[in-house]
Amino acid sequence: MKQLFTLLTLSILLVISCDSIKKKTKETINKSGEAVGKTASEFIEGVSEGIEETLKCEVSLSQALQDQGLKTGKFTVDNDTTGGKENQLTLYLIFENDFKKTLTAKAFDKNELEIGRTRLDVKGNAGDAGYYDFVFDKRTYIEVRSKIIIE
């Protein structure tokens, strides 16, 4: 009888300790998984930003326009409404001075060959800012690592 009691006690202790070990193992795995997930997310985000930075287009204003108080903000390259593919530059312009002029946008590919040119009448008062669409010929494809110069 004493042996049966001892065996039963040992069995209960074994079950309890197994549950405790299982629980601690699960908690450790969850914490490790969470840390790995955060690290992987940060790594992937860093890689994505690096790729985006490497592949993005560059937009710049001529020195003459900068001297007249024109500045740029965010820009995007999209499809125009006539069926062109990646042929519309939408550029945020900031006016430090009153401004009225026809701007010319020249697009160059990654090998610095001119691939398109367009003009746009732009008018703004000092302190104003807004988005302006430079639509290139629908055959112009502003590819990754292109450069656009506004004159």
Q: Is the pLDDT of residue 36 over 70?
A: no
When the pLDDT of each residue in the chain is averaged and rounded to a whole number, the result is 83
Q: DSSP per residue over 32-55, as a string?
A: HHHHHHHHHHHHHHHHHHHHHHHH
Lowest-confidence region among 16-25, 33-42, 103-112, 126-135: 33-42
User: Structure tokens of 75?
Assistant: 């820009």
Write down the pTM of the prediction. 0.65
